[in-house]
Amino acid sequence: MMAVRLEDVPASQYHRRFPAYGAELRELRASMRCWLDGRAVEQSLQHTLLLAVGEACANSIEHAYRDRQPGDVVVDMTQSAGDGFLVEIRDSGSFRPAVERDDRGRGTEIMRQLTADFSRESTSTGTVVRFRVSSGKAFAHD
């Protein structure tokens, strides 16, 4: 006789689609934290992922749907071999570069500093941001 005990194993892929409104970012962060906690991801790595994904989503919310009804933002995150995560954020809006201002416009630079293999591809059908984060790029904070 063999006894088997099945336990829930968190999915290795996180997926969330939400309407492009700033108020949705709070729920996104809570959902990501829950998923990352379920995978026992260390706090500094969680903070890095939350910050980088939050910046990309905020850019989609602010820039992708100007002068039109907001669409959706889609976040996909996959835990890769080892301790890293591959992340993709998509929208179906039209990309417009932000106007240079001294008090704004640091989101892309923040994402580049926190991630590896950062890319942003914008076409007439939307923007896709991709990057990789590993514990070696974890944001150290107090």
What's the pLDDT at 96? 64
Contact predicate 40/50, CB 8 Å: no
What's the pLDDT at 14? 97
Q: Is residue 5 part of a domain?
A: no
Q: Is residue 64 part of a domain?
A: yes
Q: Is residue 125 part of a domain?
A: yes
The CATH number assigned to the domain holding 27 equals: 3.30.565.10
Cα separation, 97 vs 79, whole angstroms: 30
Low-confidence stretches of the chain (pLDDT beneath 70):
1-11, 83, 95-105, 136-142
Q: Is residue 79 part of a domain?
A: yes
Q: Is residue 75 part of a domain?
A: yes
pLDDT tens figures, 76-108: 999 987 768 999 999 998 866 655 555 556 788
What's the pLDDT at 8? 54
CB atoms closer than 10 angstroms to residue 64: 23
What's the pLDDT at 26? 97
Overall domain count for the chain = 1
What's the pLDDT at 64? 86
Q: Is residue 3 part of a domain?
A: no
Q: Is residue 122 part of a domain?
A: yes
Q: Is residue 104 part of a domain?
A: no
- pTM score > 0.85 for this model? no
| Helix residue ranges, H only, the chain | 24-38, 43-59, 107-114
What's the pLDDT at 97? 60
Containing structural domain, residue 39: 13-96+112-137
